[in-house]
Structure 1
Amino acid sequence: MLVLDENMTRAALPFPDLIGAIGAMFASDCITPLRHHHQMEVPGEADATLLLMPCWQPGTYAGVKILNLFPDNYRRSLSTIIGQYLLSSAKTGEMLALIEGGELTARRTAATSALASRFLSREDASHMVMVGTGRLALNLIEAHATVRPLKRISVWGRDTNKAARLVEQIVALGLSAHVAEDLSAACSDADIIACATLSDQPLVRGDWLKEGVHLDLVGAFKPTMRESDDTAIRRSRVFVDTFQGATYEGGDIVIPLQTGVLQEADIQAELRQLVTGERKGRQSSDEITLFKSVGAALEDLAGAILAYETVRAQV
């Protein structure tokens, strides 16, 4: 059985290949049961979350991710996301690979956003605002830059020191970047706004959004969390990674559905429908699009297969 650590996993999942693999998996007939989502109490700290995410392609591959999300791990200088992915043969049941789950999750999440961006953001999008400075941030920037000609990155975070360190990492990738001190001003000039936070309250206001912007929401993974306000929902054509997940788990969708701001019929499409051409994405240069992602097990399976086959070919 192959064992892939964080560095091996990262090297085996280049974004162009990963974006393609996830697109192909969304269009396939893989089986994705509703994931197990459990809240775990941590005395004296914010509650943690245990995720169990199975998925399989009949006769080829099967896998399950076990993921722990501990919001207060920053106090211990540990990653918020810790986990592993176990890939198996769906023909014999043999265990094939154990893949570092945090890196797999970060890269497949960013790649899924980039895949959606191909259908939803303007093709000439050049200015991206990154809201949040955690592990996902650099991955999201790199992934979006794979599909759009980004020339300028504005980084906003509650901790300006973390934002400054992220800017240094972005510049090392060859992109122009700076710390955004005024989030409203940055968002009002953005072509793409990506949010990856654990916020309970909206950070991005719909009144700030210019025509043609694409809003990419990948944080706020609980029904009580939110990164966008009602005005952003009202002004946008809304898309999701999966209807099943986004309408059940993501507060940016769940709360507007509960209050009547959004109806299920208002959700334009899930990502599978965009990939297969069943539904259309962006239809004009001035419309505002919003994509809410809560993650799907098929994304992990696509990444795990790609990583396994890439490393195996090198052995």
Structure 2
Amino acid sequence: MSTDATALFLTSDEIASLAGPADYVDPVREGYRERGDGAPAEPRTTLFNDDPAGMLTGYLAILPETGAMGGYTYAAGFGGRDAHFALPIFDAESGDPLALLDGASMNPLKTGAAGAVGIDALARRDATDLAVIGSGAQARGQVRAAATVRDFDRVEVYSPTQAHRESFAAEMNEALDATVAAVASSAAAVEGADVVVTATNASEPVFDGDVLEAGAHVTAMGQYHPEKRELDATTIERATYVPDLRDRVTQDAGSFIHAMEEGVVDEAHIHAELGEVVAGHADGRTNPDEITVFDSGGTAIETVAAGKMLYDRASDEEVGEEIPFAPASRAMD
């Protein structure tokens, strides 16, 4: 009979102390490289409930070379009207539990890292002007990570509430070397931008695809429901389209689904998964005038990669609490 295993429990505050935005990018890039070379990953499964209103979501990935596998699960809404994130990490060779993470503080950072990997793989190397639509925690994570892979001179932010976008600009001016300015419309942000990041929960497109400059790259990260579409059909049609996982595109990539319904694209328009580009199995950008889109709906690739990095750091720094896990064999003894 197997003996008890132990796992390291890490609180959100402990995780926040272990790593900053730049620390997530390389592990997440490696995770996508492994996916491009064939590592297993599945799109999210989401269960919706009407009364009380809420959703339960989970997704899975195995990263053999990273040495970790796991599944991200979160509940949002319901009676508490909030969200909670749980991430178990297992050893990819033995299957033993390694860690259990409270994912609240890491969530915008691991998602931002996925966006940064998309920018690094697809945006022009000389990109200096960044537009961001959205001003919440996810937008902050995206911008801070993006600044680690490109040397931006200027960032323009738009969100519908003036106070929110101005507060975002003031905070990011302190955090970044770039000049960050709040602007009065999404068109003002997107016009002339080399990179556009959308970080919203919008159900309708947040900018007009005709405004995109030749050579622009778009990272859209609020695309995880068939009825949510930050990008219009014009943007999808004009772009080399790269999702995080091909299998999720017709399941919950709302902008692509809508573009198919309008008849401007079909599934053949999916260029490659991000991992295939990172691993060198598919081209990224091939010319300076090409428009590219990374559709980042969220996967366990970035989550498990980030979780393993945090576990390793916590182990080295003796952070966290050891908790016991009984093996399944005990239940059958």
TM > 0.5 fold call: yes
1:301-312, aligned counterparts within 5 Å? Answer: 301-312=304-315
Residues 118 and 274, structure 2, Cα contact 8 Å, conserved in 1: yes
Name the residue aligned to 2:44: 35
1:71-220, aligned counterparts within 5 Å? Answer: 81-174=83-176, 175-220=178-223
Residues 196 and 220, structure 1, Cα contact 8 Å, conserved in 2: no
Alpha-carbon distance between aligned partners in 2 of 1:27 and 1:192, rounded to the nearest angstrom: 22
Q: Name the SS for the 1:48 alignment partner.
A: strand
Residues 68 and 305, structure 2, Cα contact 8 Å, conserved in 1: no
Give the aligned residue type for 1:244: D
Residues 35 and 52, structure 1, Cα contact 8 Å, conserved in 2: yes
1:120-150 Cα shifts (integer Å, max 9, x gaps): 1111111111101111011100111000011
Alpha-carbon shift at residue 13 of structure 1 (Å): 3.6
Alpha-carbon distance between aligned partners in 1 of 2:293 and 2:219, rounded to the nearest angstrom: 6
**Among the aligned pairs, what percent are the same residue?**
25
Give the aligned residue type for 1:18: Y
Residues 233 and 256, structure 2, Cα contact 8 Å, conserved in 1: no
Bigger radius of gyration among the two: 2
Give the aligned residue type for 1:104: M
Alpha-carbon distance between aligned partners in 2 of 1:57 and 1:183, rounded to the nearest angstrom: 38
1:25-60 Cα shifts (integer Å, max 9, x gaps): 2222433244321112255xxx53211122234694
Residues 131 and 156, structure 2, Cα contact 8 Å, conserved in 1: yes
Alpha-carbon shift at residue 285 of structure 1 (Å): 1.2
Larger RCO, structure (CA 8 Å, separation 6 or more): 2
Alpha-carbon shift at residue 91 of structure 1 (Å): 4.5
C-alpha distance 94-201 of structure 1, shift in aligned 2 (>3 A)? same
1:57-76, aligned counterparts within 5 Å? Answer: 57=63, 60-70=67-77
1:62-103 Cα shifts (integer Å, max 9, x gaps): 322211234998xx7x5xx42111122345544322212233
Residues 61 and 301, structure 2, Cα contact 8 Å, conserved in 1: yes
Alpha-carbon distance between aligned partners in 2 of 1:257 and 1:69, rounded to the nearest angstrom: 29
C-alpha distance 152-42 of structure 1, shift in aligned 2 (>3 A)? farther
Alpha-carbon distance between aligned partners in 2 of 1:72 and 1:178, rounded to the nearest angstrom: 38
Name the residue aligned to 1:245: 248
Alpha-carbon distance between aligned partners in 1 of 2:249 and 2:18, rounded to the nearest angstrom: 28
Q: Name the SS for the 2:286 alignment partner.
A: coil
Alpha-carbon distance between aligned partners in 2 of 1:37 and 1:159, rounded to the nearest angstrom: 30
Alpha-carbon distance between aligned partners in 1 of 2:240 and 2:94, rounded to the nearest angstrom: 44
RMSD over equivalenced CA pairs, Å: 2.2
C-alpha distance 72-252 of structure 1, shift in aligned 2 (>3 A)? farther
1:10-49, aligned counterparts within 5 Å? Answer: 10-28=16-34, 29-43=38-52, 47-49=53-55
Gaps of 5+ in 1: none
Give the aligned residue type for 2:198: C
C-alpha distance 142-58 of structure 1, shift in aligned 2 (>3 A)? closer
Gaps of 5+ in 2: 1-6, 319-333
Give the aligned residue type for 2:109: R
Greater Cα offset, 99-108 or 27-36? 27-36
Alpha-carbon distance between aligned partners in 1 of 2:63 and 2:189, rounded to the nearest angstrom: 43
User: What TM-score do the two structures reach when normalised by structure 1?
Assistant: 0.90
Residues 21 and 141, structure 2, Cα contact 8 Å, conserved in 1: no
Alpha-carbon shift at residue 291 of structure 1 (Å): 1.3
Alpha-carbon distance between aligned partners in 2 of 1:165 and 1:219, rounded to the nearest angstrom: 21
| Alignment: residue pair count | 307
1:245-271 Cα shifts (integer Å, max 9, x gaps): 233111011221233221111121111
User: What TM-score do the two structures reach when normalised by structure 2?
Assistant: 0.85
Residues 237 and 259, structure 2, Cα contact 8 Å, conserved in 1: no
